Amino acid sequence: MSNVESNLEDIQKVAKINAGKNLKYSILTMGCQLNENDSEKLSGMIEKMQYTKTEDLSKADLIVFNTCCVRENAEDKLFGKLGEVKKYKEEKGTIIAIGGCMMQEKHIVEKLKESYPFFDIVFGTHTLHQFPSNLYSILTNNKRIEDILDIDGEIIEGLPIKRDDTVKASVTIMNGCNNFCSYCIVPYVRGRERSRLPKDILLEVNKLAEEGYKEITLLGQNVNSYLRVEKENNVSFEEYEGVNSFATLLRAINKIDGIERIRFVSPHPKDFTQDVIEAIRDCDKVCKLIHLPLQSGSTNMLKLMNRKYSKEQYLDLVKKMKNEIPNVTFSTDIIVGFAGETQEDFEDTLEVVKEVKFEQVYMFIYSRRVGTPGDRMENQVPDEVKHERFEKLKQLVEKQIEERNKQYVGTIQKVLVEGKSKNNDQMLTGRTDSNKVVVLEGPENLIGKIEDLKIVSEHMWYLKGQLK
């Protein structure tokens, strides 16, 4: 029996036990978009097993944590919440399942067993599809389960999925990462880079288009090296509609009727080949906001971080794209206070920020991760210096965003209307091609449509738009 067949069979077995019981589940997603996409698959399986969703943890019969360990504060979130759910376990026997990246860290699972021994299932990043079988075991013999693989699991196609949104959808195109940036835990918890087959991705996107989705975000830790590892290792794979690289994948998705926008995160600057630049330029549906993680603007730091490009190479790439792709803009990720960072190194980062003028900067204070080379480095930057630098970068970024937002006022922007505004349900919200949030007044039937809006005012985190 294939993995997906046994998955579907286990789902049926649990559904039979649960039928008619009106059971509820909650899922807490603590990580990145890949983690969110995994949660959508977990939710898909869980709903087929006869649970309905609730946000109220006290009402849930099953609580699933999908954890992240990229920084310390992501880990703290889990421990805080576990303290809270302990009482539900004691009062009503709620099933507690903890999965995701953090569970791939041995010291964390040990800590759970020692300090939070009331959990029922822990599962890692390679065994998502076995969740129904694990749940079946808990329901039938109630023995605590650890389902964590150290080796890379294969990619399982065809799992049920319950998507969070009706306009935008994420499609994971590859798992794992081979880059081993020296600060980063991801390669240790997500395993080696493996790409999904072109056919599986295109069938998924076609189905999304049929279901009415307008925007697709292609996900992976290093999307622009899609299928590269396979080619380097002479692993044979079947091409489909001419797709054999990231560039050809963009071109193929661009042809799918119904899909109107294509985004992707995250590419790595070192893998930005000419064919990808040309595909972005040629494909009208590919958004011209490119997320291009910088991490640091100092060549010394980039070397220590194992990023494989220099400050100059990064700036040259930006310049090249600005020359070749009309209206291209950039967003980025930056880490401050990595081990060994001097004041001069930090100033190099500020300089690059000033030069590129990013649309958005996701800023992080370096967080030491057990098992990574960064954690073993001497010259760790003291906390107060990290915080000072972070504040300084934040001020610069906010000033730049304010200036950039002002340039939008008076312009006409194509906005994909995504839904009602979370803060005010009289208003709608959407995004520009450059991923700026735009709030507008208008009828609900605009949801899912791309509208020309006149930008009338700017606020730090959003723009206000008017229908023309």
Site of interaction with ligand SF4 (CB under 6 A): 177, 179-181, 184, 186-187, 221-222, 268
What is the nearest approach in angstroms of ligand F3S to the Cβ of residue 68?
A: 3
424-456: burial string, b at 16+ Cβ within 10 Å, e else: eeeebbbbbbbebbbbbebeeebbbebbebebe
Residue 69 binding: pick among ligand SAH, ligand F3S, ligand SF4, none (C-beta 5-8 Å cut-off by kind): ligand F3S
What is the nearest approach in angstroms of ligand SF4 to the Cβ of residue 400?
A: 23
Chain positions 287 to 346 lying near ligand SAH, rule: CB under 6 A, are 293, 295, 333, 335
Please give the C-alpha separations between residue 209 and each of 216, 256, 446, in angstroms, as whole numbers.
9, 8, 18
**Which residue, 129 or 369, has its beta carbon nearer to ligand SAH?**
369
Please list the residues that pair with 464 across neighbouring strands: 439, 457
**Which residue, 186 or 417, has its beta carbon nearer to ligand SF4?**
186
Residue 24 binding: pick among ligand SF4, ligand SAH, ligand F3S, none (C-beta 5-8 Å cut-off by kind): none
Please list the residues that pair with 265 across neighbouring strands: 219
Chain positions 82 to 111 lying near ligand F3S, rule: CB under 6 A, are 101
Distance CA 435, CA 290 (A): 10
CB count in 10 Å sphere of residue 311: 20
DSSP helix/strand/coil, 119: coil
Residue 71 binding: pick among ligand SF4, ligand SAH, ligand F3S, none (C-beta 5-8 Å cut-off by kind): ligand SAH
Mask: binding to ligand SAH, 196-225, rule CB under 6 A, as x and -?
-------------------------x----
Residue 35 binding: pick among ligand SF4, ligand SAH, ligand F3S, none (C-beta 5-8 Å cut-off by kind): ligand F3S
Crossing angle, helix 33-48 and helix 3-18, to 10 degrees? 50
**Which residue, 27 or 101, has its beta carbon nearer to ligand F3S?**
101
Q: Can residue 68 be called a binding residue for ligand F3S (CB under 6 A)? A: yes
What is the nearest approach in angstroms of ligand SAH to the Cβ of residue 176?
A: 10
Question: Which two three-digit tokens encode residue 153?
Answer: 């699991």
What is the nearest approach in angstroms of ligand F3S to the Cβ of residue 181?
A: 13
Q: Can residue 31 be called a binding residue for ligand F3S (CB under 6 A)? A: yes
Q: Can residue 182 be called a binding residue for ligand SAH (CB under 6 A)? A: no
DSSP helix/strand/coil, 203: helix
Question: Which two three-digit tokens encode residue 206?
Answer: 């076609």
DSSP single-letter state for residue 19 = T
**Which residue, 187 or 191, has its beta carbon nearer to ligand SF4?**
187
Question: Which two three-digit tokens encode residue 127?
Answer: 């065994």
Distance CA 392, CA 269 (A): 25
Phi, psi for 428 (deg, rounded to 5): -105, 160
32, 220 in Cβ contact below 8 A?
A: no
Q: Can residue 266 be called a binding residue for ligand SAH (CB under 6 A)? A: yes
Q: Can residue 367 be called a binding residue for ligand SAH (CB under 6 A)? A: yes
What is the nearest approach in angstroms of ligand SF4 to the Cβ of residue 370?
A: 15
What is the nearest approach in angstroms of ligand SAH to the Cβ of residue 177?
A: 6
CB count in 10 Å sphere of residue 76: 10
DSSP helix/strand/coil, 347: helix
**Which residue, 68 or 138, has its beta carbon nearer to ligand F3S?**
68
| Residues 6+ away with beta carbon under 8 Å from 33 | 170, 217, 219, 265
Chain positions 89 to 148 lying near ligand SAH, rule: CB under 6 A, are none
Q: Can residue 186 be called a binding residue for ligand F3S (CB under 6 A)? A: yes
Q: Can residue 70 be called a binding residue for ligand SAH (CB under 6 A)? A: yes
Q: Specify the stretch interacting with ligand SAH by CB under 6 A; choose among 107-115, 359-367, 412-420, 426-434.
A: 359-367
For 161-164, the CB contacts below 8 A with 24+ separation are 161/40, 161/41, 161/43, 161/44, 162/40, 162/43, 162/44, 162/47, 163/40, 164/36, 164/40
Q: Which residues in this chain contact ligand F3S in the complex, by CB under 6 A?
A: 31-32, 34-35, 68-70, 101, 186, 189-190
Q: Which residues in this chain contact ligand SAH in the complex, by CB under 6 A?
A: 70-71, 183-184, 186, 221, 266, 268, 293, 295, 333, 335, 364, 366-367, 369
